[in-house]
Every structure is written in C-alpha cells, then in structure tokens.
Structure 1
Amino acid sequence: MSTIKKQSLHSAIFSYLGVVIGFISQGLLIPNLLTKDQNGLLGLLLSFMYIFVQIASLGFNYAGSRFFPSFSERKGYGGFVFTGLSISIFGFLLATGILVLLKPLFLSSSSERSTILDQYFYLLLPISLGTILFNFFDSYSRNLFETVSGTFLNQFVQRLIILIGLVLIALIGISFDIFIWIWVSAFIIPTIWMIIKSMQLSEFSLKPDFSVFTPKFRKEFINYSLITILTGFSSMIIMYIDKIMLTFYGGLDDTGVYNTASFFGSIMGMSLIAMSRAAVPVIVNAFKNNDLHTIQTIYRKSCVMQLIIGCLIFGGILINLDSFFELIPQGYEEGKWVIIILGLGKLFDLATGVNGSVLALSKYYRYDSAIMISLIFLTIIANMLLIPEYKLIGAALAAAISTFYYNSIKYWLVLKKLKMQPFDINFLKVIVVSSMIIVAAYHIPLIGGSVFNNLLDMAIRSSIFSSVFIVVIYKMRVSLEMNDIINRVLKPLLKS
C-alpha cells in the first residue's frame, strides 16, 4: 500500500494542478474566447479521438499490463516495447483506414456541423497518433511502477500548453486556426517527453524477442486482447457517445455548453484515475501470487478515500455554481443542471473505488466485457430517448444512469465472485457529514457584482468549506490513509 499511497499522492498533486489550469482554460477562457460551436468542435474531436485510440491500440496496453510479469522474467522485458510499438503503429494505420471510410457518415447529417468539422476533421490523425503512443509508453512505465510521469505530462503539461494558446488569443488575438494547431501540439509534445522518460527506465530495449509467445501464452494473450478491445471500445463509446449524439440531435452549440459543463465531472474522476494507475501493477502481482487479502485491502481503502475526495470536490463545485456562471457568457446557464447530474453519477463511481480494475484483472474479466456490451445498448437507447426531449440535461441523465448501472453490476460481481465487500459504517458517516457541510457552505451569503467579487466569493467560500470538511473528516478518523496523507502534508508546515 505504501507504493500506491506515495505514487497516488504525487499523481494527485499533478492532476489537481492540472485541474486548476483546466478550470482556467475550459471553465473560464474557452467560453469567453471561443464561440460555442468552436468549443463544441474541440469536445467532438476529443470524443472521436478517444474512440479511435481504443480501436487502434488493439487491446495491447491492457493485455500487456495483465501479462507483464511474464515479459519481465526475460532480458529486455521479452521484446515488450518492440511488440507493443509495432502493434500500436499497425492499429493506427488500420483505424485510419476505417476513419477515412466513415468520414462521409460523420459529416452527412448536419450542414452546420459538416462545415466546421470537415475543415478540421483530419486533425484527428495527429492527436490520435500522439495519444496512442503516449498511452503505450505510459502503460510500459506504469508496469515498471513509474506512474507519476504520465500523470504529470497528461494532466499538467498538456493542459498548460492549451492554456498558453488561449492566453495568446486573449493577449495578441491569434486566430482559431493558429490556436487549434497549438491545441494539437498539446497531444504531441507530452508524447515525445513520455518516450524519452520511458527510454531512461532500466532494461529499455527495442530489440524484437518473441520467446514469451509460446502457443499457450499466445492464445491467452490474444484472447485477452480481443476481449479488452471490446471492453475498451465499449468504455469509450459509453463515455463519449453523449457529445457525439448531442451534436447529432442539437448541434455544436449544445455540445459546446455540454463540453464546458462536463469538465467538472472529469475533475471528480482525477483522483480515481491516479489511484487506479498506481494500483493496477500491485493488483496484477497480487492476483499472480493469489494474495486476495492485499486486493481486498486496496479495494476497501480505495472506496472510502475516493468517496471522501469526491464529496470534497463535488461540494466545492456545488457551492460555487452561482458565482461561476456569473463569470461566463449567457447561453451556458443550462449547464448548471448538467454539472449537478454528472457530478452525482461520478460520485457514485468514486464510491465504488477500483472495482473495475479488480474485476478486469481477475480471472472473471470476461464478465466485464459482457457488462460493457449491455451498457452500450443502455447508453445509446437512453441518449436516443432523452436527448431529443431534454437536450443537454437528457445527455447528462443518460450518462448518470449508465454510470449507476455499470458500477452497481461491477460491485455485485466482485462481491459474488471474489467475496469482496468494501462498504462499512464509515461510508454513511462521510455522506451525512459531507451533506451537512455542503448545505451550510452553500448558504454563505454571495458577494457577487463583478468579476473580482465573484472570484473573491469563490475563494472565500471554498476556503471555509474545504477547511471545515478536512478538519471534520480528520477528526472522525474514517480513513486512516487519508489522515496519514493529511499528516504528511501538514508536517512540514508545522515544523516551519
């Protein structure tokens, strides 16, 4: 647990530094500096890109992590880098062919969407290639228990580059055409940096070595890869189909509003991503050694820690919504309910911890694929029914329903198959206390009236809320791991 705790903390620090930059960029500058359809275009390109990347990876990153102990027993990690890199490039070329063939379908349904999307459509290729290579080398590094660099580059550096582009719009008025190339570079520069960092790890080798691929191992590896292609593709469909379908039914303006609102849900998921990245190699080794006690401990502690972090962030978002919407142009107001609905769904996701990683890395991983298939149908049907009637709020409701369904099923399967149950009285304590503090903080009188006053209001309100929340949670001792993290943060301050 010490390795997970240390790397999760470091990753979380970079993640939330990235959140600050992301809030400035996605929350404040993009709505004020770009048109809603330009905002929507960025969200739509990202949605297509993440689906593209899942197809192109051909399941290697998941399978590589699952079976990395077998590669690590050989010199140069058994040609892991050569094999993974070759598959990534092949997958990119394959997915590019599919993308070119399907382009007319993407552009056919709306002339408004076709014009701007057609102009920038092929930017999907460089951002997808950059993301494919980044994900592969980040996965390789995480298999060697180096999880911080990927988070730093992906969550912090990438967002910093985008912020620089937006600042250039504000200061010297660069065009959107120039800005979007800076945006593209934000997916390329971290990838180059990640490759260099990976090459510095021990026993890095580009030499081919297929000795690990015995007939038995090859069969297991390919079967797992095929299943995770389906699982990963399904996951991306579920996460990003809302923006694609919202564009189809409404247009890029609606997608632009939704893109800004959904950013706040992604903020809440940062801590779970950081913990999952650190936990995966430990869980893999624990399953290899049949150490179910370690996995149960990770699962239980991850749930209560993520619930605490989720309540802190969601509460901070809720109490500042009124001031935030005073800072962005009119036309984004409907995003307030989108934030609330997506936030509730994400809070449930956090409360179930690393159940997805536990299930996917166990011998019952096939169940995860079955869940994903059913979830695709649920998500698409929910969006088809709710978006035409309720537009942005319908997309948010569909996403929340899918999140509740997915995590409930995973929780039940982990309980039934692995006999692991993470919840106890501490969960109820966290929920009740958090709700009381959030309600009290929300009723602090608003300052408002100007940009400065709104920013001041958010700063004061957030400081009071977070201070009270952390002190109460610390005193309640509902998570010894959280208390330990707080002690580590406060120790240098107390010494000074």
Structure 2
Amino acid sequence: MGIVQRQGLRNTIISYFGLGLGFVNTALLMPRFLAADQVGLTRVLLSLATIYAQLAAFGFASAGIRFFPYFRNREAGHQGFLPLLLGLPMLGFAVISLAYWLGRPLILRAYDADAALLGPYYGWCALLALFTLLYSLQDAYLKGLYHTAFSSFLQEVLLRVLIAGVTLLFGLGYLTFHQFVLAYILVNSVLALLLTGYLAYIGELHLRPTRAALQVRPVRELLSFGAFALLSNISGTVISSIDALMVGSKVNLKAAGIYTTAFFISTALTIPFRSLYKIAFPLLADYWKEQDMARMAEFYRRTTRLNTVLGCYLALGIGLNLDFIYSLMKPEYAAGTTIVWILLAGRLLDGITGVNGLIVVTSPRYRFDLVFNVALAAGTVGLNLLLIPPLGMVGAAWAALLALTSINVARTWFVWHAYRLQPFDYRIGLILGAAGAAALAGWLVPPVHSLFVTMLLRSAALTVVYAAGVLFTRAVPEVQPLLQKLRGGLGA
C-alpha cells in the first residue's frame, strides 16, 4: 500500500471519528454546560478568526498545494518554498490586522447588544487568527509532502478532545468563563505549534529563505492563482459561517448560540453524504477522462437514490426525537427546534439533488463551480439581511434553506442543460412516499413517561414502517441482492 493510500485510509478513519466527537461537543456537551450567549461568543470568535485568516492568506494555502511539485527537492530544502509560503501571507496578516484594529469600533458596534461580552476578547481573536493562518499554511505544505494524517488527527480528534476537556473543567467549576474562553482560544491555537514540531520531527522544517524560490515560478502566477483560490475559499467560509455572525450581530449572541447548536444538530444528516462524496470524486474524474457518460448517468441516479433513502431516514430520526435531544441541554436551547427542522430540509434537499456539484467541478466547465459558490455565498448574505430583521434567528434558517434550494436547482439544471444528465426517476417518489408514511407512524406514537423511551418507540416505528415501505416498493434495487442473501441464510 503506497503512502497516498495509507494516508487516505488513516484520514477516513480519523474523519469519521472526529465527526462523532464534533457532534458530541457542539450539539451536546457545550450546550449542557454553557449558556447560549456563551456558546454564541465562541462561535463568533472562531468565525471572525477564520475569515480574518483566509483574507490574510490570500489563497496561498491552495497555491501551496498547487505549485509545490515545481519546488520539490528535499536536498535543497525545497528551494525555499516554506519561507515563501509563509512570508507573503504574513505580510497579508499585517495589512488585515491594521484594518481589523482600525475597524474595532465598527465591529463592536455591530454587536452592540453584547459588546461587553465580546470586547474583552477582541485582541485575543487576532491571536487566534494568526495561529489559524499558520495552521492552514503548514497543513497545505504537509499535503504537498503527502503527510496529511497527523494534521487531520490534530484537527479532527485532538482539538475536539481538548475542547471537551476544557468544557468539562468549566462545567465542573474548575474554570471561570473568562478562563474557559482563553483556554478555548489556546487549544485552537496550539495546533499550529504542534504542526511546526511535526515538520521538524520529519526533517521538513526548512525556514531558510532563498532567491531560488522567486525563480521557480513567477510570483505573479502564485498571486493570480491565490486570488482565484481566495474567492473560492472565502465563499465556502461565508456559506458555513456568515449566518452565525449575522445572527449574533442582528439579534444577539444568545440567539447565535441557539442557532449554531441547531446548526450542528442538523449536520448529523450530512455524514453519509460526505462518505459518498469521497468515493464519488475520483470516480467522476475517471468517467470524465474516459468520456463514459452512460456510467456517469447511472452513477448520478444511483447516488441520488442512496442519498435520498439515507437522508430521509436520518432527517426524520433527528426531527422526531428533538424533544429528547434538547432535554440533554439547558432549556433555553429548545428555542432552536424549528431551526433544526428548516436546516434539515435544506440539507436533505442538498443530498437529494445528488452529486451535481462534483459533476460540475470535475467537468471541463469546472470554473462554473466558482460561479455557483460565489452566487450561493452572495445569496446567503442577501437573504440573511432580508430575513433576520423580521424573523430573527429563524430567518437565518430560512435564508439557508432558500439559498441551498436555489443553487441546487440551478446546478441540477446546468448539469442537465450542459451534459443531459439528471438524477431523478420514479423511485425517488416511492422513497419519499415511504418516508411520509414512516414520518406519520413516528409522529403518532404518543409521548410516555420517559423522553428516552419515547425516543426508542418513535425510532422503532419509523424504522419498521420506512424499511417495509422501501423494501415492498423495491425503491432501492441495491438492497434486493442483500435481502435475498439474508433470506437464503435464514432458509439454510
């Protein structure tokens, strides 16, 4: 097994373990011990630092991955690539930091209702942004070296274990809230230092600058690619972070805490989609290379069908048991119940429309992926500005749903118009019908004395009715061979 395969396998295992830890931290542990405005503060600080760092990097993390093969020469210290990769973003950090400090009154005025809570940590946010920037640049360098498992372990596992640890220390009374926030910033920052130590350990910490680094590829080319990557990266960050920032600004940090907790509850729905997309990406690239449109069309329909059957089941499983999930937290978080349902609808639609985004990004018209991402980011911001003032944090959820719906309709149409590929057949209707019947069965289960027992009964009703509906209608042909083997085994 080669290094790429080994690193890929390790990354997959680490990723799924990390997803579980992340869900426990953000959807269960922190809401149990922290008030909503306290959770909102941590999310706003992290989102601000992420955007701050991405602007400073100017896309150089992506440029590092793209251009490192031209510099690769271990004996020559990769021709001064690492100092070049770090140097220009450090200049960018200085410029963005100046703007950040000059903009302090404006930013704090945007969070006027909670300025007393946010203000003491304004400077600490700059420190967090610096270490976030250093982590992303070193992570890009390690990707070029094909050493990705350690950085994945730090980000997906160690960070979440440390956050769980400081949260428990706060919940047990060993830390004040001020100490908790500083510890939260510290554990997010220390990852960059651990990566530096790892680079030294593997003998790849080459910090001596050389003039050769400026001659391997024109700096203008790196900057041009970086600008393109910045636009793409910042669009992704806006899509994932702007709603929490805008809820915190337009409403208050308490609402931001409730919203982000609901947001993370809904992310459980995306786990099977992410798994499928990791497999889909290289397969679609191969289909394009071979111009095998028939197999691509079949794969498009099959993945959409599987996403629909898994997505409906998980969405209903989460939605029907929100009373139990919220019983594990402080009571104030239950105000996010409606938000979870709306976000689940958006994520389900995103999964049901299949792998349209991956088809675009692996196709000859891959540049349209940037157009769609920028449009989604702009639509998300615009809809938040429109809907948060009258509807509060629920407006942010509706903005996310409407933006996702619009962009997925546009992507699906684009793939059909450009390549005559579409993912739907009559089986999607059968799956949705089975999901509707299962939802009704689960909803009709009356509450009993225990929320936990109610959760078990509703989940059982949902599972039995949904499985029966899917199997009876033969809506998922991929299941039939497995079912026949099971019958054969029982018959034997």
Higher mean Cα deviation, 16-25 or 101-110?
16-25
Q: What SS is found at the alignment partner of 1:324? A: helix
Structure-2 change in CA distance of 1:438 and 1:185 (3 Å): farther
- 1:217-255 Cα offsets, whole Å, 9 max, x none, are x66654332122122223322332222222222111211
Indicate if the aligned counterparts of 1:66 and 1:284 stay in contact, CA closer than 8 A: no
Aligned partner letter, 2:408: N
The residue that corresponds to 2:228 in the other structure is 227
- 1:367-401 Cα offsets, whole Å, 9 max, x none, are 33433444344323322221121111111001111
Structure-2 change in CA distance of 1:349 and 1:69 (3 Å): farther
Indicate if the aligned counterparts of 1:299 and 1:353 stay in contact, CA closer than 8 A: yes
Indicate if the aligned counterparts of 2:113 and 2:252 stay in contact, CA closer than 8 A: yes
Q: Name stretches of at least 5 consecutive residues in structure 2 with no aligned partner.
A: 487-492
The residue that corresponds to 2:343 in the other structure is 342
Structure 1 residues 60-459: aligned runs within 5 Å: 60-66=60-66, 81-142=82-143, 148-195=149-196, 210=213, 213-214=216-217, 221-272=222-273, 282=282, 290-293=289-292, 296=296, 303-304=304-305, 306-360=307-361, 364-417=365-418, 420-424=421-425, 427-428=428-429, 430-448=431-449, 453-455=450-452, 457-458=454-455
Structure-2 change in CA distance of 1:145 and 1:246 (3 Å): same
CA drift of 1:164 comes to 0.8
CA drift of 1:335 comes to 0.5
Whose radius of gyration is greater, 1 or 2?
2
Structure-2 change in CA distance of 1:302 and 1:177 (3 Å): farther
The residue that corresponds to 1:44 in the other structure is 44
CA drift of 1:11 comes to 4.9
Q: Name stretches of at least 5 consecutive residues in structure 1 with no aligned partner.
A: 491-496
Aligned partner letter, 1:345: G
Residues 1:59 and 2:59 aligned together:
yes
Give the Cα–Cα distance (whole angstroms) in 2 for the partners of residues 151 and 461 of structure 1: 36
Indicate if the aligned counterparts of 2:431 and 2:475 stay in contact, CA closer than 8 A: no
Indicate if the aligned counterparts of 1:25 and 1:162 stay in contact, CA closer than 8 A: yes
Structure-2 change in CA distance of 1:23 and 1:222 (3 Å): closer
Indicate if the aligned counterparts of 1:147 and 1:277 stay in contact, CA closer than 8 A: no
Structure-2 change in CA distance of 1:199 and 1:251 (3 Å): same
How does the TM-score come out when normalised to structure 2? 0.78
Give the Cα–Cα distance (whole angstroms) in 1 for the partners of residues 79 and 435 of structure 2: 49
The residue that corresponds to 1:26 in the other structure is 26
Aligned partner letter, 2:163: I
Q: What SS is found at the alignment partner of 2:324? A: helix
CA drift of 1:78 comes to 7.0
Give the Cα–Cα distance (whole angstroms) in 1 for the partners of residues 74 and 471 of structure 2: 46
CA drift of 1:479 comes to 8.3
CA drift of 1:165 comes to 1.1
Give the Cα–Cα distance (whole angstroms) in 2 for the partners of residues 479 and 101 of structure 1: 61
Indicate if the aligned counterparts of 1:130 and 1:188 stay in contact, CA closer than 8 A: yes
Give the Cα–Cα distance (whole angstroms) in 2 for the partners of residues 432 and 198 of structure 1: 54
Give the Cα–Cα distance (whole angstroms) in 1 for the partners of residues 309 and 6 of structure 2: 18
Give the Cα–Cα distance (whole angstroms) in 1 for the partners of residues 455 and 147 of structure 2: 36
Aligned partner letter, 1:387: I
CA drift of 1:35 comes to 2.4
CA drift of 1:341 comes to 0.6
Structure-2 change in CA distance of 1:176 and 1:58 (3 Å): same
Indicate if the aligned counterparts of 1:303 and 1:422 stay in contact, CA closer than 8 A: yes
CA drift of 1:416 comes to 4.0
Structure-2 change in CA distance of 1:10 and 1:343 (3 Å): farther
Give the Cα–Cα distance (whole angstroms) in 2 for the partners of residues 470 and 185 of structure 1: 47
Indicate if the aligned counterparts of 1:32 and 1:329 stay in contact, CA closer than 8 A: yes
Q: What SS is found at the alignment partner of 2:332? A: coil
Structure-2 change in CA distance of 1:117 and 1:224 (3 Å): same
Structure-2 change in CA distance of 1:467 and 1:64 (3 Å): farther
CA drift of 1:113 comes to 1.7
- 1:133-163 Cα offsets, whole Å, 9 max, x none, are 3333444455566665444432332222111
Indicate if the aligned counterparts of 2:434 and 2:465 stay in contact, CA closer than 8 A: no
Give the Cα–Cα distance (whole angstroms) in 1 for the partners of residues 467 and 151 of structure 2: 28
Give the Cα–Cα distance (whole angstroms) in 1 for the partners of residues 304 and 71 of structure 2: 31
CA drift of 1:339 comes to 0.5
Indicate if the aligned counterparts of 1:8 and 1:275 stay in contact, CA closer than 8 A: no
Query: Aligned residues, how many?
Result: 477
The residue that corresponds to 1:494 in the other structure is none
Give the Cα–Cα distance (whole angstroms) in 1 for the partners of residues 390 and 194 of structure 2: 45
Task: State the identity %.
Answer: 27
Give the Cα–Cα distance (whole angstroms) in 1 for the partners of residues 98 and 283 of structure 2: 36
CA drift of 1:47 comes to 2.3
Structure-2 change in CA distance of 1:382 and 1:182 (3 Å): same
CA drift of 1:190 comes to 3.6
Indicate if the aligned counterparts of 2:15 and 2:152 stay in contact, CA closer than 8 A: yes
Higher mean Cα deviation, 392-401 or 239-248?
239-248
Give the Cα–Cα distance (whole angstroms) in 1 for the partners of residues 471 and 139 of structure 2: 34
Structure-2 change in CA distance of 1:66 and 1:31 (3 Å): same
Structure-2 change in CA distance of 1:53 and 1:303 (3 Å): farther
Indicate if the aligned counterparts of 2:33 and 2:330 stay in contact, CA closer than 8 A: no
Indicate if the aligned counterparts of 2:285 and 2:362 stay in contact, CA closer than 8 A: no
Indicate if the aligned counterparts of 2:376 and 2:404 stay in contact, CA closer than 8 A: no
Indicate if the aligned counterparts of 1:56 and 1:88 stay in contact, CA closer than 8 A: yes
CA drift of 1:69 comes to 6.1
CA drift of 1:25 comes to 3.0
Aligned partner letter, 1:330: P
Give the Cα–Cα distance (whole angstroms) in 2 for the partners of residues 307 and 292 of structure 1: 27
Indicate if the aligned counterparts of 1:258 and 1:338 stay in contact, CA closer than 8 A: yes
Q: What SS is found at the alignment partner of 1:172? A: coil
How does the TM-score come out when normalised to structure 1? 0.78
Aligned partner letter, 2:48: F
Give the Cα–Cα distance (whole angstroms) in 2 for the partners of residues 480 and 202 of structure 1: 48
Structure-2 change in CA distance of 1:438 and 1:365 (3 Å): same
- 1:442-469 Cα offsets, whole Å, 9 max, x none, are 4444345xxxx43455467557867987
Indicate if the aligned counterparts of 1:268 and 1:313 stay in contact, CA closer than 8 A: yes
Indicate if the aligned counterparts of 1:11 and 1:151 stay in contact, CA closer than 8 A: yes
